[in-house]
Amino acid sequence: MLRIFVFTLAIALLPLKAQAQESLQILYTGAIKGELEPCGCSPETQSGGLARLSGFLMEEGGSLKPFILIDAGNSLAEDTAQGRLKSEALLRSFAVMGYDALAFFKSAAVPPASLNVRPGKNAITDIPGQRRSIETRRGEIRVNISADPKGLKKGPLNVLLTEKPVTGLKNVSGWDVVITSSGELLDEPVRIEGSIIISGYPKGEKLGVLKLSLDSHGKVSGFSHRWQPLGKEVKEDARVRAILKEYDTKVAALLVEKEKEAASLGPYLGEAACVECHEPFSESWKATRHARAFETLERVGKSKDPECVVCHTTGFGEAGGFYSKKATPGLADVQCEVCHGPGKDHVREGKATMAVDRSLCLRCHTAATSPFFDYESYRERIKH
């Protein structure tokens, strides 16, 4: 009787075993575009950053296992001296985090092979003749990751990385998951031809987390998705912070001190020259945040970062404009000549100053640096 009971129980349990499900989490980024960390210009744009991303993975990675970490591409910066330093710092940071797959597309402004830091064996591309797919495993779960939409679907679980926008995705049948780095913001995944479509959060402000439920054959039977915030509450990874500090040092070297240009050769005079005739306006300017713009960079260690300096000084990047605090101290901060134009001709020939309009302000008050900028109300703050 006991034998019959045990045998019956074993038969009853067989379907349960066949239906047993596993899960795999895909943690993903894409469209970082060289944003190593938040710029610090506005409290509303303080999300993201590689040091926080790595810190989150260190602190919470254990509870997310099994997972794979993927970057869907478009994460390198522009092809400039500073942009190349950014891209190299990003690749070094990715190596610390242990990405399983990194996508690089032929449209990239900087070919990865031209950088001093090269991606490793986890790199795939859409360029013919180069590695276009990679396979990774988590226990018995086998994942085929490819940058080639026409590539073979080699595994039970197939993931396609692309830079195409969602509206341009066609013939994706057979790809279980498609991750785009088009820069689109998708609040939730969309379904196209049965594929789960997700998109890397622009500039790496959040980490995407896609949890897949897999049947006994390793095929997707269900999923859930969330965005992991990377705010200041996330503890940074000291290893990545060290990489970013080294980047800051290299960027500062791009602004090597040089002899100050003779005043006669430059059109900028500085606020000290304006105050001689416009003292009331100078006093009202001193009460604005424009008068302390450079100080804010010094406070966060970005006073030698060209991408930041240009909007916190007067005439940076132009002949006779701000170069460094040491070489051109009289042109630090957002002074009169930023809004009204260089003062040399105005003083010498009495030419009218430049009119201030919305387009002038929008050069620096962008959606990324000043998301709540309103021309009328902000204009009142500096009116004189």
CATH classification at residue 330:
1.10.1130.10
pLDDT at 44: 64
Do 75 and 198 fall within a single domain?
yes
Does the pTM surpass 0.85? The reply is no
Do 237 and 284 fall within a single domain?
no
- Round the CA-based radius of gyration of the chain to a whole number and report it: 27
pLDDT at 176: 96
pLDDT tens-place string over residues 56-91: 999 999 999 999 999 999 999 999 999 999 999 999
Asked if the structure places residue 6 within a domain, the reply is no
Do 211 and 302 fall within a single domain?
no
pLDDT at 319: 83
pLDDT tens-place string over residues 160-210: 999 999 998 988 888 999 999 999 999 999 999 889 999 999 999 999 999
Asked if the structure places residue 3 within a domain, the reply is no
Asked if the structure places residue 323 within a domain, the reply is yes
Total domains present in the chain: 2
Do 234 and 272 fall within a single domain?
no
Give the structural domain span for 52: 22-246
Do 91 and 231 fall within a single domain?
yes
Do 161 and 63 fall within a single domain?
yes
Asked if the structure places residue 257 within a domain, the reply is no
Do 242 and 270 fall within a single domain?
no
Domain end residue (candidates: 246, 277, 311)? 246
State how far the Cα of 35 lies from the Cα of 52, in Å rounded to an integer. 13
Q: How is 321-343 classified by DSSP, letter by letter?
A: S---TTT-GGGBSS-HHHHH--S
Q: Is the peptide bond before 128 cis (omega within 30 degrees of 0)?
A: no
CATH classification at residue 32:
3.60.21.10
pLDDT at 150: 87
pLDDT at 256: 67
Q: What are the residue ranges in the chain where pLDDT is below 70?
A: 1-20, 42-45, 256-265, 350-352
State how far the Cα of 361 lies from the Cα of 287, in Å rounded to an integer. 18
Amino acid 101 reads A
Distant-in-sequence, close-in-space partners of 227: CB < 8 Å, separation ≥ 6: 201, 206, 207, 208, 209
pLDDT at 45: 66
Do 161 and 208 fall within a single domain?
yes
Asked if the structure places residue 15 within a domain, the reply is no
Distant-in-sequence, close-in-space partners of 236: CB < 8 Å, separation ≥ 6: 49, 51, 52, 54, 55
Do 191 and 59 fall within a single domain?
yes
Asked if the structure places residue 253 within a domain, the reply is no
Asked if the structure places residue 297 within a domain, the reply is yes
Asked if the structure places residue 304 within a domain, the reply is yes
pLDDT at 261: 44
Domain end residue (candidates: 246, 279, 301)? 246
pLDDT tens-place string over residues 109-131: 888 888 999 888 999 999 888 99
